[in-house]
């Protein structure tokens, strides 16, 4: 088979490289995001009862909820010791582990598309793809005298 004309090879190489930028930029954006932004915002901190399915806090071997119900938790400050109420406790969570797990399928897809795009770009740029010239259309028998 004849080699692909240089003009076509350049066109398809540029087209492939341009299309390759889409998953490459998406992959870069996903991998370059900060990992410290996944904390629950302070205004949305969960109460102790709302966060029981994700965290348990123990003080001297006793659950924090039990200590609060028994009114055994006090805080000392300049005004003197004050009793801690359950409504005064808020929990913030780092959701980075959940976000990271949810990102894995997208990252693998972007990486696979980038790999396939690089292979296609190399095949096109080096002229390794099969190229068949366009054939002249056959003469229509009705056109012959």
Distances (CA, A) of 140 to 5, 37, 133, 134: 29, 69, 21, 17
| pLDDT digits (tens), the chain, 145 positions | 667 788 888 898 899 999 999 999 988 988 888 877 788 888 888 888 888 888 888 888 888 888 888 888 888 888 888 888 888 888 888 888 888 888 899 999 999 999 999 999 898 888 887 667 767 666 666 666 6
Q: Please, what sign has the CA dihedral across residues 92, 96, 101, 107?
A: positive
Cβ atoms 59, 73 nearer than 8 A: yes
72 CB neighbour count, 10 Å cutoff = 13
Residue extents of the structural domains in the chain: 1-38+95-132, 40-93
Q: Which pTM was predicted?
A: 0.55
Give the contacts of 96 (CB within 8 A, at least 6 positions apart). Answer: 35, 36, 38
């Amino acid at each position: 088979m004849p080699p692909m004309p240089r003009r076509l090879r350049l066109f398809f190489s540029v087209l492939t490289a341009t299309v390759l930028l889409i998953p490459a930029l998406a992959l870069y954006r996903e991998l370059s995001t900060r990992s410290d932004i996944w904390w629950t915002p302070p205004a949305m901190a969960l109460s102790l009862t709302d966060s029981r399915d994700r965290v348990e806090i123990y003080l001297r071997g006793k659950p924090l909820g039990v200590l609060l119900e028994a009114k055994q938790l006090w805080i000392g400050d300049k005004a003197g010791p004050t009793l801690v109420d359950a409504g005064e406790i808020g929990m913030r969570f780092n959701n980075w582990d959940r976000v990271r797990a949810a990102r894995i399928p997208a990252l693998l897809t972007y990486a696979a598309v980038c790999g396939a795009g690089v292979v296609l770009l190399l095949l096109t740029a080096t002229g390794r793809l099969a190229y068949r010239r366009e054939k002249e259309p056959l003469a229509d028998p009705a056109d012959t005298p």
